[in-house]
Amino acid sequence: MGRLEGKSVVITGAGSGIGRAASLLFTKEGAKLIAVDRTEGVKDTVEQIRKAGGTAEAVIADAGSEKDVIAFIDKAVSTYGKLDAIWANAGIGGGLIPIAEQTVDHWQEVLRVNLIGPFLAVKYAMPHMIKQKHGSIVCTASVAGLKSGASGHPYAASKAGVISLVQTTAYSLSGTGVRINAVCPGLIETGMTKPVFDRAKERGTQDKIGQLNPLKRAGQPHELAAMGLFLASDDASYVNGQAIPVDGGLTASMPYAGKPI
C-alpha cells in the first residue's frame, strides 16, 4: 500500500514545478487528488496521473480567491467524501525590483497569492479535518522567508508570513488531531526560477548555480515533493508547526562560510 492510500488530497499550483511533481508522487502513493492551478497546465498534470493509473480531477482556479478556494475544497469533499490533506503550494515570484520602485499593487498581488492563498486553504480545510479528527495541511514557504538575501522584498515577506501562519495555526489547532507544516525550498529548478537558470546558461556560468549550499547544486521539484509526501502522510504524525528547509544545506550556515572552520 502507498503512504497516502485512499486519502483525499488537494494540491494547488499543480500545473507545473513542485506542484506537478507532488501531484504525480502523491497519486503514485495512492492519493485521490484534486489538482488545482490557474493555468491549463493542470490538465496535463492530471492526464499524466491518469495514464499512470492514478485518480485525479483537474480544477482551474485562483488559489488566492476565496470563492475559488471554497469551491475546490467542497469539490474534494463531494468527490471523495472527505479531505485528508491539502498542500497550499501555489505561489508567484516577486522580482528583484529596487524597493523604492516597488508599488503597492505589486505587493498586494504577491501577498494575495502567496500568503492569503495559504490562509484561505487553512480556513476552509480546517472544518472538514477537525470534524474527522485528523488531517494534514502543508504550505510552501521558502528559505527567503527564513533569511534575507534569497529573493526580493515582497516575495520574502510573503513567505515569512506563511511560516508565521503555520506556526500560529499549529497552536490554534491544539487538540484537534490536525497538523500543519511548511516546506521551505531553496533554489529549485522550476518555471518560477527559469530566468535564473537561463541567464546562467547565457553567461556560461551554470556550473556556479547552487554553489552556496554544501551540496553544490540546485534542487529538483521531486525532492520537494518527497518532503511534502512525508508531511502529508501518517509517517509525520508527530511533526507539527515546523518550517522545514529543503535547500541542500543553504540555511545551515552563513552564505559566506564557504569552507569548514
pLDDT digits (tens, 9 = 90+) for 193-215: 656 665 656 676 566 666 778 88
Q: Where are the domains of the chain?
A: 8-191+220-247
Q: What is the average pLDDT value for the chain, to the nearest integer?
A: 91
Question: In sequence order, what DSSP letters do the residues of 133-152 get, joined into one string?
Answer: T-EEEEEE--GGGTSTTSS-
Residue 127 has pLDDT above 60, yes or no: yes
pTM of the model: 0.92
Segment 13-39 shows an average pLDDT of 97
Residue 121 DSSP class: H
Which residue did the predictor score with more confidence, 166 or 211?
166
Contact 24, 45 (CB under 8 A): yes
Known active-site residue 238: no
Residue 46 has pLDDT above 70, yes or no: yes
- 96-109 b/e (C-beta count within 10 Å ≥ 16 → b): eeeeeebeeebeee
The identity of residue 122, as a single letter, is V
Q: Is 48 exposed, middle or buried (0-12, 13-18, 19+ CB in 10 A)?
A: middle
The CATH H-level (homologous superfamily) assignment of domain 8-191+220-247 is NAD(P)-binding Rossmann-like Domain (3.40.50.720)
The identity of residue 152, as a single letter, is G
Contact 138, 232 (CB under 8 A): yes
- pLDDT band at residue 187, thresholds of 50, 70 and 90? confident
Residue 23 has pLDDT above 90, yes or no: yes
Grid coordinates of 107: 505587493
Residue 94 DSSP class: -
Strands (E), the chain: 8-12, 32-37, 55-60, 85-88, 135-140, 178-185, 243-246
Check 80, 124, 155, 256 and give the catalytic one.
Answer: 155
The per-residue pLDDT for 258 is 47
- pLDDT band at residue 74, thresholds of 50, 70 and 90? very high
Grid coordinates of 99: 524597493
Segment 123-142 shows an average pLDDT of 98
Identify the H or E element spanning 224: helix 221-232
Say which residues have a Cβ less than 8 Å from residue 226's Cβ, sequence separation at least 6: 25
Segment 22-42 shows an average pLDDT of 98
- Report the alpha-carbon distance of residue 261 to residue 102 in Å, rounded: 40
pLDDT digits (tens, 9 = 90+) for 106-121: 999 999 999 999 999 9
The per-residue pLDDT for 211 is 76
